[in-house]
Amino acid sequence: MAKIVYNYIDGEWRESESARTFETSNPANSAETVARYQQSTAKDARRAIDASASAADEWSQMPAPERGSILTEASRRLTNRKAQLTELLVREEGKTKTEASGEVQRAIDIFAYYGSKASDLGGEVRASSSHQTDLYTIREPMGVAALITPWNYPIAIPAWKLAPALATGNAVVFKPASLTPGVAAKLVETLDESGLPDGVCNFVTGPGSEVGSTFATHEDVDVVSFTGSTAVGNLVYDQATDDQKRVQLELGGKNPAVVSASADVERAADIVAAGAFGVTGQACTATSRAIVHEEVYDEFLKAIVDRTETIDVGPGLEGGEMGPQVSKGELESTLEYIDSALKEGAELVTGGNVPKSEVAEDGYFVEPTVFADVQSDMRIACEEVFGPVLAVIPVSDFDEGVEVANDTEYGLSASVITENLSEAHRFTHEVEAGVVKVNEKTTGLELHVPFGGMKGSSSETYREQGDAGLDAFSISKTVYVNY
């Protein structure tokens, strides 16, 4: 029988009030059950919030360097169990072993980073216009932070929310996505073993309609941080802001890579393929559109097809270069987008099918897919596919390339591939995206700089990671001392 994982509330691993569970399966082998988790209720969510609210004051009063030492210890313990976490992530989410190992390392690095940053928390001193007056600011925690995380980066995204929230002195309630809760539970277990006081971090699995909604609406929650789809994010925002909670949203993307006439085409194809097909295209920053100057369009199309057809599709634990989609529903959604693109007149130049290989027959695999001659009003060019599907769009010049890049409701990540310095600088200023890259793939983030989107990709309130992550979970107080 598969292992049963419990909720973690007030320092104890507990069964849900419902006494019901749900299962996760291996997307590379759908017959394999990975684990069973608690099908929690609103009552479980409220119990978790109560525990956080009770623990918040004492945790906030702990010296910040002492809080940081717990995060640093968690980083050390995560390092010791990296191989175990990597395998669990592959089995539950479907990433390749290399991708999963890199994600676990990101979580390790994030806890080390914020463990160190905790010692630098403070405010600013300013000169007062009055005599015999000290004027300065201090930073204080918000109180209780509710964290709701997605399935596609099931340890990295929880890490980059949990670590700054805890470093700044907040107590936390945390709901991971139901498709991939395993490594999140291990992360919480590691924090417990690292000395985190009871009640400071509470972990509840279950449906968003029960657990997530309770987190977003409860009067004792002060800040909500959500990463996921735009539709669900907008619902969370509406629920949370009814009583003026602080809200941080990171949502979908339709990320362009503009290939200039001056680009090295072979290099451009490598960059675009890595961004489009890495992590099976299941990243909010994945390259979804290649917008290519007509002078190099045919050459680029051949190069991207050649590169795509070398990708080995198969289970991550068996050495596949691209793993499965996370679930049957995600696979069906991707296949529906492929069918829609064909009906709208896009040219399928490679992929588009479920692989017929023996290693792929038991999982949710799809071939990496490239469509040519895509128009910017087609669904495949407008909507987030969240699968390994690339739309190649021809443009007549650089200005049209930027215009097409911006012709979307999203604004998360964007890339330009060019040898023209003027184009590179113009792109960074003119493209509507929160992350802009020159001669790099749209995916991949540094942990010490802000991350977030524009337009429909974000609430455009607070950024994540770096110092911005600390800002999201703290509030400034200004102090006047007349002596």
Residues 6+ apart with CB under 8 A from 166: 67, 70, 71, 114, 172, 191, 196, 200, 201
Question: What's the topology of domain 255-438?
Answer: Aldehyde Dehydrogenase; Chain A, domain 2 (3.40.309)
Half-sphere exposure of residue 185, counting CA atoms within 13 Å on the CB side?
26
Question: What's the topology of domain 3-251+459-482?
Answer: Aldehyde Dehydrogenase; Chain A, domain 1 (3.40.605)
The pTM of this model reads 0.96
Q: Which of 73, 250, 384, 432 is catalytic?
A: 250
Closest to 253 in 3D by CA, of 76, 456, 395 = 456
pLDDT of residue 2: 87
**Residue 250 appears among annotated catalytic residues:** yes
| Residue extents of the structural domains in the chain | 3-251+459-482, 255-438
pLDDT of residue 360: 78
- Tell me, letter by letter, the H, E, C secondary structure of 94-163: CCCHHHHHHHHHHHHHHHHHHHHHHHHCCCCEECCCCCCEEEEEEEEECCEEEEECCCCCCCHHHHHHHH
pLDDT of residue 300: 98
78, containing H or E segment: helix 64-80
* Same fold? 3-251+459-482, 255-438: no
* Residue entry with tokens 């002492």: 66
Half-sphere exposure of residue 225, counting CA atoms within 13 Å on the CB side?
30
pLDDT of residue 228: 96
Torsion angle, alpha carbons of 260, 264, 270, 274, to 10: -40
* Residue entry with tokens 């770096």: 466
pLDDT of residue 466: 96
> Is residue 286 a contact partner of residue 245, using CB atoms and an 8 Å limit?
no
pLDDT of residue 34: 97
For the chain, which ranges sit under pLDDT 50?
none
Tell me the two tokens of residue 1: 């029988």
Residues 6+ apart with CB under 8 A from 163: 71, 110, 111, 113, 114, 115, 469
pLDDT of residue 357: 81
